[in-house]
Amino acid sequence: MAGNTDFDLYRPSEEHDELRKVVRQLAEEKIAPHAAAVDEEARFPQEALDALVATDLHAVHVPEEYGGAGADALATVIVIEEVARVCVSSSLIPAVNKLGSLPVILSGSEELKKKYMGPLAKGDAMFSYCLSEPDAGSDAAGMKTRAVRDGDFWVLNGVKRWITNAGVSEYYTVMAVTDPEKRSKGISAFVVEKGDEGVSFGAPEKKLGIKGSPTREVYLDNVRIPADRMIGAEGTGFATAMKTLDHTRITIAAQALGVAQGALDYAKGYVQERKQFGKPIADFQGVQFMLADMAMKIEAARQLTYAAAAKSERGDADLTFQGAAAKCFASDVAMEVTTDAVQLLGGYGYTRDYPVERMMRDAKITQIYEGTNQVQRIVMARNLPK
């Protein structure tokens, strides 16, 4: 598995290129054939999970010392990008496994890492991330979920909303208020298990896109967990959550990049075959210009995303800006490119008989989750490069 940390800006190594070939073949053979049905039936892409686990691609970011592949940030991006190229719902398996588990990797005790990274690396469990609440979305520090100390335990009560893969994942990183007087510095992070007494889930949300990835509320009703399941020191949870997002926003950029590339690839093939006025519509300059613009913007997004991945791997000081920039730019490009792909297919593009309408619907979420693109612009403005 790619683990080269000595790359300059992005420059994928031969190992990264080989990884891309492997993932693309897997995605096209094992995941793409089920993508339309997963969307139509709004069901979890079990075929994708099975294929990813069988090839150790479901959580490539887990360090080798905990039984993982030890992939660097760019390798993780490539896996997510190539899966998203055929099915964005399926790409949320490796993406959210990283999102949910990264707080443990970044701030957790050695005991916590050993306990939870092993099952994740083996594919015995998935990991989700519980930050947002019904009244705390962009204002995450305004959360109301409480954790109260009771001897050697913490007791959690509250509701988390918009939780990706909720009900499927075994483990959940949960942010909860331990000191209401300190606002963001009074928030702590915990690992909650699906089987803990008092944990339950709401009905799946009925969404525009990524229908194969369940999004549900997580209910915490007097959930009593051992004190050693706190991630890091008390009061550091919000800082850990924000540090996590600096790294994982790049995985959203990777999803956006993948779905945009998938839409362009399909549209390129279609315009070669579709004939009007006696010749392929690819021969018309207006169509050529659209394709050129789509390809140009995708390549710009790829450069920005890969550069951000390299900065994530190195832990560069400007990662906060670069991660937000990559996520914001790539997702805006994905929305534009997938919309143009629908346009290039005309009436056919507007039907579910062709994949570009699904890609357009799936692309939209990349502008919203892990911080809306309006929030990304706030983040960038506050962290402008010096």
Quick check: 229 and 190 in contact, CB under 8 A? yes
Beta-bridged to residue 280, according to DSSP, are 275
- Which residues pair with residue 192 across a beta bridge? 172
One-letter amino acid of 62 = V
Q: Which residues pair with 226 in a beta bridge?
A: 153
Please give the angle made by the CA atoms of 223, 215 and 361, to the nearest 5 degrees. Answer: 165
Note the pLDDT of residue 10. Answer: 58
Q: Which of 82, 133, 357, 370 is catalytic?
A: 370
Distance in angstroms (rounded) separating the CA atoms of residues 176 and 84: 31
Q: What is the pTM of this model?
A: 0.96
Pairwise CA distance, residues 162 & 128, whole Å: 11
Distant-in-sequence, close-in-space partners of 276: CB < 8 Å, separation ≥ 6: none
370 part of the active site: yes
Which residue intervals of the chain bear CATH 1.10.540.10?
A: 14-122
Alpha helix (H) residue ranges in the chain: 14-26, 32-41, 46-54, 73-84, 88-107, 110-122, 237-273, 285-314, 319-345, 356-365, 373-382
Q: Which residues in the chain are classed under CATH 2.40.110.10?
A: 127-237
**C-alpha–C-alpha distance, residues 51 and 37, integer Å:** 17
CATH number of this structure's domain 127-237: 2.40.110.10
Instruction: Report the chain's mean pLDDT, rounded to a whole number.
Output: 96
Q: What local confidence, expressed as pLDDT, does residue 149 receive?
A: 98
pLDDT at residue 12 in the model: 82
Q: What is the pLDDT of residue 1?
A: 55
CATH of domain 14-122: 1.10.540.10
Q: What is the mean pLDDT of residues 71-83?
A: 98
| 239-382: CATH superfamily | Butyryl-CoA Dehydrogenase, subunit A, domain 3 (1.20.140.10)
126-136, pLDDT tens digit by residue? 999 999 999 99
Per residue in 188-238, pLDDT (tens digit) is: 999 999 999 999 999 999 999 999 999 999 999 999 999 999 999 999 999
What is the average per-residue pLDDT within 298-320? 97
Strand-strand pairing, 153-164 and 146-150 = antiparallel
Q: What is the pLDDT at residue 4?
A: 45
Judged against a pLDDT cut of 90, whether residue 8 lies above it is answered with no
> Residue 35: pLDDT band by 50, 70, 90 thresholds?
very high
Can you tell me the mean pLDDT for 284-294? 98
Cross-strand partners of 279: 276
Every domain range in the chain assigned CATH 1.20.140.10: 239-382
Q: How far is CA 169 from CA 106, 163, 180, 186, 384, in A?
A: 20, 10, 29, 27, 36
Q: Check whether 3 has a pLDDT greater than 90.
A: no
Q: Which residue shows structure tokens 């945009």?
A: 260
Q: How confident is the model at residue 7 (pLDDT cuts 50, 70, 90)?
A: very low
Q: What is the C-alpha separation between 151 and 62, in angstroms, rounded?
A: 32
Is the distance from CB of 183 to CB of 175 less than 8 angstroms? Answer: no
Average pLDDT in the 104-112 region? 98
What is the per-residue pLDDT for 386? 82
Q: Which long-range contacts (CB under 8 A, 24 or more apart) does 183-186 make?
A: 183/141, 184/141, 184/238, 184/239, 185/235, 185/238, 186/235
